Structure 1
Amino acid sequence: MLARPVVMTGMLGAAVGVPYAIHNPPDEWPAWPTQQAAPVAEQSIEAAGAPAPAVKSLPSVQGPQFPNSLVYESPMPLEGGGFYSIEQVLRMDITKDWVYQHWARKSTGLSEPDLFGIRVPLVTGTGMADLAGSLSYYFNGQGQVDKLRFRGVTADTSRLVALAQQQYGLTWQPPRVPGEQLLQSRAGDKVVSQLRTFPEPVLWSTKPHGSFGVDLEFNRPGSNRFVDSLGPRLQVPEATAQAPPPAPEPQQASASPGAPAGASGPQLQNAQRPDFRWPN
């Protein structure tokens, strides 16, 4: 067994000699490959006219696989195939097939018993006058749009107001609350279509696109459909007036002989006992 000083001396010599031998090799040793050799090799390949190696792209991660999964794959985002202008989507000549082709996600079965409703997410762009929210189409039995509803936000209402005035004939009405913009078209005393905008309760300087809330409903003229301005109301049955029941008459018990005036109840029962004595 080697002594410990000898082992330590050998380890120290290896730590010094091996790095020196690597960086200062003898002439008969082969040349070590270094990082500087790579550019030289690439220059020689380019000089020889050989094509550069193709850059491989990262592999794509696939989702869950199931029968016929390739049939249902769609790269379309949930809000649709792209941005649609306000004039393109707020129309009465749109068909159900057009809606199905332009949105990957739809909601059906809305709260109109005699109409077929389709609700889609809507983003018309990134400008200050664009809309973002929920758009609903209601189709009648002939496949025509009888009602349009939109609930969402915007930063500039001028473009939407111009469309409501020019295309649907809405006119300005007195606001019901401060800060409200109200436009309506009427048939007698009933509201056919309505556009209502109002400032959001909380305004953020970092989120200007959500400055105004938008509540829009357009009905086809002549469809006998109107805007319910009051919204849904809770039906509460009226209470019938009933006479209050008569108050019970106080029962007076006859006092026993020798009982003081005003004695009744337990005191009267105790007074009837033979061993009972009234306090002095």
Structure 2
Amino acid sequence: MGDNEQKPQEQPKPPPPTPILNQVILAVIGLLLVLSPIVVLSGSGSIAALLAKVLSGEPVLTSLRMGDGSEGKSSAPPEQAESLPPIVEMSEVFRFDVSPDWVVSRFPRVTSGLAILNFQGYRVPLVTGTAEDDLAGTVTYYFDASRQVRRIVFEGTTGNPNRLLAFLATYYGFVYRPTNNPAVYLYVVPEEGSRGETHSYLWIRPRGILTNSDPQHRFDLSLVLERPSR
């Protein structure tokens, strides 16, 4: 074969993909393999959003919220945070000059439909603070047909009932009444002509097990306040 014979002209090889394009392709393929279960559970919208983050340069682990574990943790939903009971004073709760509208607007969670006799009840969670002599439980307001509070019922706990006793004695005239059971304490509002019967009362019962780690739950309380006649 002569020197001047022309060799077949070789076809030029296609240029290799750029490193950036390779990274993008690998990231997309890997992401699809990892997220295949999520495609079924979340739909194409979630995948599209994640792909958009990866293609925009965001790390894959960051897009998946799998970095250090802290990004995947979410705070309580806003509706759950709003439903937490507010801290209120005893003087604001145990009063008879409130209306159903006040109850609904003051507390984030209200249970209605608690009818007894001719009264309509509204129950709310109660927390007066975090001190040992604060209260925690529920308060139920019972309204009559004229939308006046006729009865207030509290069921809950405290670590020290002295502050509640001082409040009830000052504003409603509660006094101690001995009972035949030394394990319970009874306070009542004396009523003339009632033949020993009382309508407003407070039962205090020490819990069976007391621990230093739970100082706010040492006494169970049952309080019934009837609207004063005068």
TM-score clears 0.5: yes
In the alignment, which of 212, 215, 218 is matched to residue 211 of structure 1? Answer: 218
Does the 8 A contact of 1:76 with 1:104 survive in 2?
no
**For residue 105 of structure 2, what is the amino acid of its counterpart?**
Q
Aligned to 2:87: 83
Q: Which has the higher helix share?
A: 2
Shift in CA distance, 192/203, structure 1 to aligned 2, threshold 3 Å? same
Stretches (4+) displaced over 2 A: 58-64, 73-80
User: Secondary structure at 1:192's aligned position in 2?
Assistant: coil
Does the 8 A contact of 1:171 with 1:184 survive in 2?
yes
Does the 8 A contact of 1:79 with 1:122 survive in 2?
no
Q: Give the TM-score taking structure 1 as reference length.
A: 0.51
User: Secondary structure at 1:98's aligned position in 2?
Assistant: helix
Cα separation, 2, equivalents of 1:79 and 1:149: 20
Equivalenced residue count is 157
Cα separation, 2, equivalents of 1:155 and 1:113: 34
Shift in CA distance, 79/186, structure 1 to aligned 2, threshold 3 Å? farther
Where does the alignment leave 5 or more consecutive residues of structure 1 unmatched?
A: 1-57, 65-72, 224-280
Q: Report how far residue 61 of structure 1 moved.
A: 6.9
Q: Give the TM-score taking structure 2 as reference length.
A: 0.62
Does the 8 A contact of 2:175 with 2:190 survive in 1?
no
In the alignment, which of 117, 127, 130 is matched to residue 126 of structure 1? Answer: 130
**For residue 150 of structure 2, what is the amino acid of its counterpart?**
D
Cα separation, 2, equivalents of 1:62 and 1:84: 25
In the alignment, which of 132, 142, 147 is matched to residue 143 of structure 1? Answer: 147
**For residue 78 of structure 1, what is the amino acid of its counterpart?**
S
RCO (CA 8 Å, sep 6+): is it higher in 1 or 2?
2
Cα separation, 2, equivalents of 1:63 and 1:75: 6
Q: Report how far residue 186 of structure 1 moved.
A: 3.3
Aligned to 2:201: 194
> Computing the radius of gyration over CA atoms, which structure comes out larger, 1 or 2?
1
Does the 8 A contact of 1:138 with 1:146 survive in 2?
yes
Shift in CA distance, 60/141, structure 1 to aligned 2, threshold 3 Å? farther
Once superposed, what is the RMSD of the aligned Cα atoms? 2.6
User: Secondary structure at 1:186's aligned position in 2?
Assistant: coil
Q: Report how far residue 74 of structure 1 moved.
A: 5.1
Q: Report how far residue 175 of structure 1 moved.
A: 2.7
Q: Which has the higher strand share?
A: 2
1:41-56 correspondence runs (5 A): none
